[in-house]
Structure 1
Amino acid sequence: MPRIPAVPDAEAGVVGRLVYRLARRRFGSVPEPFAVARHHRKLFWAALVSELGWERAATVLPATVREIAVYRTATVVGCSWCVDFGTMLQRLSGLDVDRLAHIDEYATSPLFSPAERLAIAYADAMTAQPMTVTDDQVAVLEREFGRAGLVELTQMIAVENMRARGNHALGITDQGFDAACAVPQGRSLDGSRTP
């Protein structure tokens, strides 16, 4: 249960109930981060518009590259809700979710393409505290994805850091969208394994 309860349908307002209904139709359930955000109606709308905008605008990179970087970010931060929801979205998009269990082996695993490895390493560098992104890393990414692709990758990793850290702070955990994938246990916020 989150640290702040979700706003129930009865208290969500007419338009809020409409958004909840549309979310149920699309995802099977109302995403808990939206239902919690409904406590602050202006930020609820800002988040909704932003999410729809990012979804429609992020089209330069191949979906596999973009989504694997977002997934990696969620696992490093330790947001079980983001991992759960993100896995469902990948599955619904026809992406290979079975390989997600091997994300920690990305550097050597044949399950990940060279472009995906670059994106995952960048997600690690951007999510690390302190950040470890280097000039050389950015130059390689620009050669691989172009400037627009690099900006898209950077933005989507940054957005996922915001989502995952907010959900984690509010105690929003996996909602059962995709039970096939869970956050590896024993991971600290800097991505290192804990005993």
Structure 2
Amino acid sequence: MPRIPAVPEYEAGFFARLVLRYARRRFGAVPEPFAVALHNRRVFWASLVADAAHEWAPRSLPKRVRELAVYRAATVVGCSWCVDFGAMLQRLDGLDVERLRHIDDYATDPRYDRAERLAIAYADAMTAQPMTVTDDQVAELEAEFGRTGLVELTHAIALENMRGRANHALGITDQGFDAACAVRLGAGR
């Protein structure tokens, strides 16, 4: 249960209720961060618009690379909700969620290719406290993905850090969207 309760759907207002109903149809349940954010309607709508833009904008990286890096950031931050929801999104996108169980071994596991290893290592470096990103690492990522891809990857990892830390602070935990959420949290530290 979150530290502050979700706003009940009947108190959400007409347009927000439409969003919550759409989310329930798309995901099988209303994502709790949505319902908690409704305590501040302006933040709710700003987040909704931003999330739609963030879903639309990425086009440079292969989806599997971006989503693995985002998933890794969620596990390192320790956001069980993000891990749960992220695994479901990867499954719905047809990505191999079974290998998420082996993400701690990404550096040597043959399930991960070079591009994925670079992206996951970057997620680790960006999420570490303090950050451990190096010039050499950024140069290697730029050589692999180009500047456009590097910016996209950096943005996706940073966004997941923000989401994961916000959910963790508000006590929002997994909702059971996907069985792959059994992955150990706090990895890579």
Is this a same-fold pair by TM over 0.5?
Answer: yes
Q: Is the 8 A contact 2:78 2:164 kept in 1?
A: yes
What is the distance in 1 between the residues matched to 2:176 and 2:125? 29
Q: CA deviation at 1:32?
A: 0.4
How far the C-alpha of 1:13 sits from its partner, in A, is 0.7
* SS of 2:173 mapped into structure 1: coil
Alignment of structure 1 residues 1-195 onto 2, 5 Å: 1-184=1-184, 187=186, 191-192=188-189
Query: Equivalents in 1 of 2:83, 2:96: separation in Å?
Result: 14
Task: Give the RMSD, CA atoms, in angstroms.
Answer: 1.0
Cα offsets for 1:57-81 (capped at 9, x unmatched): 0111000100000000000000000
- 1:50 partner letter: A
Whether contact under 8 Å (2:74, 2:80) holds in the other structure is yes
Helix, strand or coil: the match of 2:90? helix
Say whether the 8 Å CA contact 1:79–1:183 is kept in structure 2.
no
Letter in 2 for 1:68: L
**CA deviation after TM superposition for structure 1 residue 28, in Å:** 1.0
- What's the % identity of the aligned pairs? 74
**Alpha-carbon separation, structure 2, partners of 1:147 and 1:162:** 22
Structure 1 residue 180, shift from structure 2 partner: 2.9
Per-residue deviation at 1:179?
2.0
CA distance in 2, matches of 1:116, 1:180: 19
Following the alignment from structure 2 to structure 1, what is the Cα–Cα distance between the partners of residues 38 and 183?
A: 26
Deviation at 1:183, TM superposition (A): 4.2
When normalised by structure 1's length, the TM-score is: 0.95
Cα distance in 2 between the residues matched to 1:46 and 1:149: 25
The gaps in structure 2 that reach 5 residues or longer are: none
Q: Please give the TM-score of this superposition, normalised by the length of structure 2.
A: 0.97
**Cα distance in 2, alignment partners of residues 184 and 65 from structure 1:** 20
Deviation at 1:25, TM superposition (A): 1.2
Q: Using the alignment, how far apart are the partners of 1:179 and 1:121 within structure 2?
A: 24
Runs ≥4 residues deviating over 4 A = none
Question: When the two structures are aligned, how many residues end up with a matched partner?
Answer: 189
* CA distance in structure 2 between the aligned counterparts of 1:58 and 1:46, rounded to whole angstroms: 19
The answer (yes or no) to whether the contact 1:125–1:131 under 8 Å persists in 2 is yes
